[in-house]
Structures are given as structure tokens and as C-alpha cells.
Amino acid sequence: MGSVYVALLHHPVLGPEGQVVTSSVTSLDMHDLARAGRTYGVAGTFVVHPSPPQRLFVRRVLEHFLKGQGRELNPQRGETLEQVQVAADLDAAVEAVEAREGRRPLLAATSAREVPGAVGYGVLRERIGREQAPILLLFGTSWGLAPEVFERSDIRLAPLRGARDEGFNHLPVRSAAAVVLDRLLGAP
């Protein structure tokens, strides 16, 4: 079984009119993705942002909970955030996984929109069970991952849908990530 990693991309992502933008980091996303990742046993979580000040913000939040007063007040949160790493871009996250695993990860992109060639969660769940390569699950902030991320992905996941699909599909990324992780790594 290959290891599973999560990357939260803030660039390149889409804005409300379909343009490629860079979104801001929120500490809430970082905390919640780390908690979901720990719950489902992911090997690591990456916060990906091209801006040095935004990466510094992430590092400061992490330092507060890993070494600072936050660790003393809430040690469990510090343990949870130990799996979070900061990367300047997707290539840096891929390189970090490859350095740790000895193999390039397969990139699995998520989307709230229909994308060509998308597979269901059962297909990826089975593949995770037999795959030797690590899997890097890609989540986008703002209005989702830009087309260029899908072009370089090895796997494209179908959008999440409720039993009563009424056309609305805009979950917060932290909620979507928890649902995806449960479908892929949750107990049967």
C-alpha cells in the first residue's frame, strides 16, 4: 500500500470568473486539514503557497503550536500539526514526498466541477490499496485548482455529490478534504 499525502494549493487556483489567481492562507484550513489527515493516517500535509510572507505566516503558526506557548496549552494540536510542511509550489511538495518515499508520488487532483477523465472514489481507494507509489491528493482553495494542475495530474477525481444533487457544489476545502479522505481511507 502506498502512502497518502495531502497538498492544499493556493496557486495556481481559479478566481470567481475563472481567472488564475493566488489565494491567501487561512490558519483554519491548515488546522482542519492536519486534523483530518491525522484522523485518516495520511503521511503528511503540505500547505503550498508561492509568497514568502504567506509561507512565513504558516511557519509562525506551526512554530507556535510545535514549540511555543500553543504547545504547552494544547499539546494535541501540536502533535497534529507536526505533519504539516510548507512548500513554495507543487514541484517542491512532489520533491519532498519523493525524498521521503524514494518514489515520485502519483498526483490525484480533486474538483467540485466535472473534469475529463475523472474516476470515482472506489477506483482510487482500490488503487491506494495496491499501489506501491505514494499518492499526493491535491486540493485547491478559492474556486478550485487551475487547469494546469489537472493537466499534470495522474488521477482526476470526480466531484463530490450529495444523494440529492441539486446543482450546488461548493464545499469549503476543509470539508471536502475530510469527505474525500473518509471515502478513500475510512473504515468500510
Whether the predicted model's global pTM rises above the 0.85 cut: yes
Contact 149, 109 (CB under 8 A): yes
Average pLDDT over residues 73-84: 85
Reduced DSSP (H G I as helix, E B as strand, rest coil) percent helix, strand, coil of the chain, to 5: 45, 20, 40
pLDDT on residue 168 = 76
124: helix, strand or coil? helix
1 has pLDDT over 70? no
What is the tens place of the pLDDT at every residue in 101-126?
999 999 999 999 999 999 999 999 99
pLDDT on residue 74 = 78
The highest-level CATH class for domain 4-185 is alpha beta
For the chain, which residues make up each domain, given as ranges? 4-185
Distance CA 26, CA 155 (A): 27
Classify residue 71 by its DSSP letter: H
